């Protein structure tokens, strides 16, 4: 904790519903917030698998008007946001429902920022740049990883700069968050793995953050336990409702941790891979995580040692350093077990992208400016960041 004057904030939605059947409360809750015609921000994948219809059927049954905007892409862009703003205004919407994983939530948050505060989404890059409150906002989660349904984070790609803008603003925190594992059973194993490793990254980075505190540590510790208990099971059998619900709690707890202790250089570096190559965020995090934390280990050895034991490693009789190393071993093993590619080049090939060493200097410079890196426990030089990217190739 702090050794100087330091005030710790704790940001979460006013109401959160987690569990089987939670989605049934959507119409009631959006009405309670004062909404009568929400814009539903989602993506075509959520529409295709029928999840969006499950939600609109609930709204239809309640006699509520709505409009669906399903143009969100996996790494939402400034164009996505500005188009959504046009759709919101053109259809006379007065409230917001985001439906999906992190991409839909982030896109919707961007729409909400611009509708309520004006200007362009680029105006809000950084910390707490908005000045006006959101419209009634309910976030419905369909993945167990990003926790964007409950955070003050919004990540949007600036197409002109090929950079992911990190927007951190307490006003974008959803008023109500809903996590219903019924909406998650259709997630394929690869997406379950990627989003689950994203949740682990949130917990790890928050746990060793320079502004971690007893509340965020408690959330991160429980997230570690649940992820190591349930992620493999959820990947192996998507119909395992106990595992799905366990991951709902895990990702939310990890979200509570990083929403208030912030993140580190895993996210700062992963954002550049997403902005540069349009690679999936969760898998970028998973690949970078052991490399960045190997660099961070000397700054927080005691915490990594504690982490190893929570993750199920036997640390009896070991030095703090040796015990800390076992946390990295446990992370690598979990990542391998759930099928995460071993390196960035392999990940790029999986998605038809050419990840090149020649791009590392540009990504390094951008990563060093990313707001998520400000709370990393060890301050890396440009060479350090470049070396980590190279090791992760």
Q: What local confidence, expressed as pLDDT, does residue 1 receive?
A: 60
Strand partners, 138: 97, 176
Strand partners, 158: 163
Strand partners, 41: 69, 98
Q: Concatenated DSSP letters for 151-179?
A: -SEEEEEETTTTEEEEEE-GGGS-SEEEE
Percent of the chain surpassing pLDDT 70: 99
- Determine the CATH number of domain 189-392: 1.20.1090.10
pLDDT, average across residues 105-117: 98
Q: Please name which of 387, 357, 377, 248 lies closest in space to residue 307, comparing C-alpha atoms.
A: 377
pLDDT tens per residue across span 76-108: 999 999 999 999 999 999 999 999 999 999 999
181 pLDDT more than 90 = yes
Non-local (6+) Cβ contacts of 95 within 8 A are: 30, 33, 34, 35, 36, 37, 38, 39, 135, 136, 137, 138
Q: Tell me how far apart the alpha carbons of residues 188 and 185 are, in angstroms, rounded to a whole number.
A: 8
Q: Tell me how far apart the alpha carbons of residues 299 and 173 are, in angstroms, rounded to a whole number.
A: 31
163 pLDDT more than 90 = no
Span between the terminal Cα atoms of the chain, in Å? 35
pLDDT, average across residues 247-272: 96
288 pLDDT more than 90 = yes
Give 139's DSSP letter. E
Report, at the CATH architecture level, how domain 15-183 is classified: 3-Layer(aba) Sandwich (3.40)
Q: What local confidence, expressed as pLDDT, does residue 78 receive?
A: 97
Where is average pLDDT lowest: 204-208, 209-213, 271-275, 316-320? 271-275
Mean of pLDDT over the chain: 96
Q: Concatenated DSSP letters for 15-60?
A: EEEESTTGGGGHHHHHHHTT-SSEEEEEEHHHHHTTHHHHHHHHHH
Q: What local confidence, expressed as pLDDT, does residue 4 receive?
A: 73
117 pLDDT more than 90 = yes
List the chain domain ranges: 15-183, 189-392
**E strand segments, the chain:** 15-18, 38-43, 67-72, 95-100, 126-127, 137-141, 153-158, 163-168, 176-179
3 pLDDT more than 80 = no
Q: What local confidence, expressed as pLDDT, does residue 162 receive?
A: 85
- Chain position carrying tokens 């939530």: 105
- Chain position carrying tokens 């959803």: 174
Q: Concatenated DSSP letters for 79-97?
A: HHHHHHHHHHHHTT--EEE
Q: Please name which of 258, 262, 291, 303 lies closest in space to residue 388, comparing C-alpha atoms.
A: 291
Residue 25 in contact with residue 16, Cβ under 8 Å? no
CB neighbour class for 381 (10 Å; exposed up to 12, middle 13-18, buried from 19): exposed
Residue 195 in contact with residue 145, Cβ under 8 Å? yes
Instruction: Provide φ and ψ at 77, rounded to 5°.
Output: -110, 170
Q: What local confidence, expressed as pLDDT, does residue 9 receive?
A: 87
pLDDT tens per residue across span 185-219: 988 999 999 999 999 999 999 999 999 999 999 99
Nearest-Å Rg of the Cα atoms of the chain is 20
pLDDT, average across residues 317-342: 98
Strand partners, 168: 127, 153
For residue 39, name the pLDDT band (cuts at 50, 70, 90). Answer: very high
Q: What local confidence, expressed as pLDDT, does residue 164 receive?
A: 87
pLDDT, average across residues 274-285: 93
Q: What local confidence, expressed as pLDDT, does residue 186 receive?
A: 87
pLDDT tens per residue across span 228-254: 999 999 999 999 999 999 999 999 999
Percent of the chain surpassing pLDDT 90: 94
Residue 196 in contact with residue 234, Cβ under 8 Å? yes
160 pLDDT more than 80 = yes
30 pLDDT more than 70 = yes
């Amino acid at each position: 904790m702090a050794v100087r004057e330091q005030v710790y904030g704790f940001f979460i939605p006013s109401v959160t519903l987690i569990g089987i059947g939670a989605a049934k409360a959507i119409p009631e809750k959006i009405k309670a917030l004062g909404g009568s015609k929400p814009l539903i921000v989602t993506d075509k994948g959520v529409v295709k698998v029928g999840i969006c219809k499950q939600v609109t059927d609930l709204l239809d049954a309640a006699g509520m008007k709505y409009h669906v905007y399903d143009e969100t892409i996996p790494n939402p862009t400034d164009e996505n946001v500005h188009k959504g703003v046009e759709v919101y205004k053109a259809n006379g919407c007065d409230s917001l429902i985001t439906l999906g994983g992190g991409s839909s939530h982030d896109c919707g948050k961007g729409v909400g920022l611009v509708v309520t505060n004006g200007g362009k989404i680029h105006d809000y890059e950084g910390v707490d740049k908005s000045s006006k409150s959101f419209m009634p906002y309910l976030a419905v989660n369909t993945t167990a990883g990003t926790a964007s349904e409950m955070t003050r984070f919004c990540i949007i790609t600036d197409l002109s700069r090929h950079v992911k803008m990190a927007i951190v603003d307490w006003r974008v925190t959803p008023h109500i968050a809903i996590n219903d594992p019924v909406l998650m059973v259709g997630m394929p194993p690869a997406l379950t793995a990627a989003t689950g490793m994203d949740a682990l990254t949130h917990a790890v980075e928050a746990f060793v953050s320079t502004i971690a505190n007893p509340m965020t540590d408690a959330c991160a510790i429980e997230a570690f336990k649940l992820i190591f208990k349930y992620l493999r099971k959820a990947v192996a059998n998507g119909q395992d409702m106990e595992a799905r619900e366990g991951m709902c709690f895990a990702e939310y707890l990890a979200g509570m941790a990083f929403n208030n202790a912030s993140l580190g250089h895993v996210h700062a570096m992963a954002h550049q891979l997403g902005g540069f190559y349009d690679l999936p965020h969760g898998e970028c995090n998973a690949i970078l995580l052991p490399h960045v934390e190997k660099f961070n280990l000397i700054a927080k050895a005691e915490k990594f040692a504690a982490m190893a034991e929570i993750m199920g490693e036997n640390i009896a009789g070991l030095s703090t350093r040796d015990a800390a190393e076992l946390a990295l071993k446990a992370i690598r093993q979990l990542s391998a077990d759930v099928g995460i590619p071993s390196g960035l080049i392999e990940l790029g090939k999986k998605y038809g992208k050419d990840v090149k060493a020649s791009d590392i200097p540009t990504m390094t410079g951008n990563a060093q400016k990313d707001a998520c890196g400000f709370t990393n426990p060890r301050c890396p030089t440009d060479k350090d960041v470049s070396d980590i990217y190279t090791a992760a190739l």
